[in-house]
């Protein structure tokens, strides 16, 4: 029988706590804090994410029901909802943002050799944003429309392992294309974007760093063809052209040549026009790269369904950002555990198992694989009889 740590403690052991303490010291997170340190706040919020808690009262009730196990889970004393609410409001959210970036760096190394459906050795990112609707009267700091509030999660997703390498949280009014100003492009990497990011000045700045992009052209784009490459129309390719922009301002903002690929999807019959600054990849590979952009949509769907980022435990900007970054940390942590332990289950399944067994004292691999514990076989001794009859 396993008499060691609870599953929650085993999960938390995968976190680099020394790095976390250095980040807390950098932002003076525990300055004049007597109860509920930043570590305990993170554990409380991570517990809420792992077990689908809906409110602070819910967190308090569930942890209070297991007081005998709290000390071994990393809590010095029971967690009060008022204390946790104050911590979410006052502790700098950048602590958890920087910690999430450390976990992201660790996870990307683990998934660097994974495939995402396209045979390429270069790093490929998908850039997109999702909107989380809020109540304007409760969240007045996040204006979106006249009677509605919202925040946006601008995410740059590494398609190998579906690990978010960059996240920017803004109010709902910020247009998606503006997040390109916050990116630090990586030379040689591919950035896959939809038409919302078609800004020739920003794309030219991205290309000047040695990075490549794949996006879709707008229907009113003014450009002229310089020459065409041969294509096989049986594959769905209509044309593969090198073009130059015609418009006065557009040609000033992007003075170099572009590659335009027109492709008819055989499944939907829809004609798509792609733009890229890479001229050596096969045209069908460029089309496949854009198709793989759908992974970022699946990422948004997954975190909205499996993590608590649509209902918040606090109403201040600091509380909302802290909760989102801790949710991202939990997502990346689950991905790290899956990879390190070589678990043959999906992230959704792993999270579901943890949600109902978080207080159990059972080995993590045993809980996930559902293998019965090893039963010790009775030892067989060849013992002589004491009496001969």
Beta bridge partners of 134: 149
- Please state, in angstroms and rounded to a whole number, the distance separating the CA atoms of residues 38 and 167: 22
For residue 226, give both structure tokens.
């310089």
User: Sign of torsion, CA 302 312 96 354?
Assistant: negative
What single DSSP character describes residue 167? E
Q: What is the DSSP string of 291-348?
A: HTTHHHHHHHHHHHHHSS-SS-S--SHHHHHHHHHHHHHHHHHHHHHHHHTT--S-HH
Contact 274, 214 (CB under 8 A): yes
Q: Which of 155, 186, 159 is nearest to 169 (CA)?
A: 155
Half-sphere exposure of 225 (CA within 13 A, CB side): 9
pLDDT (tens digit, 9 = 90+) per residue, 25-38?
999 999 988 889 99
How far from 200 is each of 223, 253, 254, 348, CA to CA, in Å? 13, 6, 6, 39
For residue 44, give both structure tokens.
């409380």
pLDDT (tens digit, 9 = 90+) per residue, 103-133?
999 999 999 988 888 888 889 999 999 999 9
For residue 259, give every residue at least 6 positions away whose Cβ sits within 8 Å of its Cβ, in sequence order, or none: 240, 241, 242, 243, 275, 276, 277, 278, 279, 286
For residue 266, give both structure tokens.
């055989």
Residue carrying structure tokens 């006249």: 146
- Please state, in angstroms and rounded to a whole number, the distance separating the CA atoms of residues 318 and 23: 17
- Please state, in angstroms and rounded to a whole number, the distance separating the CA atoms of residues 287 and 263: 8
Q: Where are the alpha helices (DSSP H) in the chain?
A: 7-12, 17-26, 38-51, 56-64, 67-70, 81-90, 94-110, 200-208, 248-253, 283-291, 294-306, 317-340, 347-357, 364-369
Q: What is the model's pLDDT at position 389?
A: 44
Q: What is the model's pLDDT at position 350?
A: 92
For strand 212-216 and strand 190-192, is the pairing parallel, antiparallel, or unpaired?
A: parallel
- Please state, in angstroms and rounded to a whole number, the distance separating the CA atoms of residues 130 and 146: 20
Q: What is the model's pLDDT at position 375?
A: 47
For residue 48, give both structure tokens.
């809420």
Long-range own/partner contacts, residues 207-210 (CB < 8 A, 24 or more apart): 207/256, 207/277, 209/185, 210/185
- Please state, in angstroms and rounded to a whole number, the distance separating the CA atoms of residues 309 and 326: 10
Exposure string over 346-377, b if 16+ CB within 10 A, otherwise e: ebeebbebbeebbbebbbbeebbeeeeeeeee
Residue carrying structure tokens 């809020």: 134
Q: Which of 13, 8, 41 is nearest to 322 (CA)?
A: 41
| Low-confidence residues in the chain, pLDDT < 50 | 1, 373, 375-378, 380-381, 386-387, 389
Query: How much of the chain, in percent, has pLDDT values that exceed 70?
Result: 94
């Amino acid at each position: 029988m396993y008499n060691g740590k609870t599953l929650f403690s085993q999960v938390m052991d995968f976190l680099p706590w020394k790095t976390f303490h250095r980040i807390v010291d950098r932002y003076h997170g525990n300055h004049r804090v007597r109860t509920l340190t930043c570590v305990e706040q993170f554990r409380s919020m991570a517990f809420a994410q792992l077990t689908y808690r809906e409110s602070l009262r819910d967190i308090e009730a569930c942890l209070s029901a297991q007081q005998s196990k709290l000390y071994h889970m990393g809590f010095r004393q029971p967690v009060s909802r008022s204390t946790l609410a104050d911590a979410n409001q006052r502790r700098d959210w950048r602590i958890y943002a920087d910690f999430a970036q450390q976990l992201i760096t660790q996870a990307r190394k683990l998934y660097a050799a994974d495939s995402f459906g396209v045979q390429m050795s270069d790093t490929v990112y998908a850039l997109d944003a999702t909107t989380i609707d809020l109540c304007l009267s409760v969240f007045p700091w996040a204006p979106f429309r006249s009677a509605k509030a919202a925040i946006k999660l601008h995410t740059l997703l590494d398609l190998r392992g579906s690990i978010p390498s960059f996240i920017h949280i803004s109010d709902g009014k910020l247009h998606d294309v503006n997040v390109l100003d916050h990116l630090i492009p990586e030379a040689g990497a591919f950035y896959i974007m939809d038409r919302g990011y078609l800004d020739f000045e920003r794309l030219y700045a991205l290309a000047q760093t040695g990075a490549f992009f794949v996006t879709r052209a707008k229907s009113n784009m003014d450009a002229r063809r310089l020459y065409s490459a041969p294509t096989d129309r049986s594959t769905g390719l209509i044309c593969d052209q090198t073009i130059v922009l015609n418009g006065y301002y557009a040609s000033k903002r992007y003075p170099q040549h572009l590659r335009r690929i027109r492709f008819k999807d055989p499944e939907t019959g829809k004609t798509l026009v792609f733009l890229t600054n890479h001229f050596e990849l096969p045209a069908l590979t460029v089309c496949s790269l854009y198709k793989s952009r759908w992974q970022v949509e699946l990422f948004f769907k997954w975190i909205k369904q499996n993590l608590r980022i649509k209902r918040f435990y606090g109403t201040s900007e600091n509380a909302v950002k802290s909760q989102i970054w801790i949710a991202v940390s939990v997502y990346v942590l689950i991905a790290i555990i899956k990879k390190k332990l070589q678990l043959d289950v999906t992230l959704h399944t792993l999270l579901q198992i943890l949600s109902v067994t978080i207080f159990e004292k059972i080995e993590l691999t045993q809980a996930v694989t559902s293998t019965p514990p090893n039963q010790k076989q009775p030892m067989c001794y060849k013992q002589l009889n004491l009496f001969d009859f």
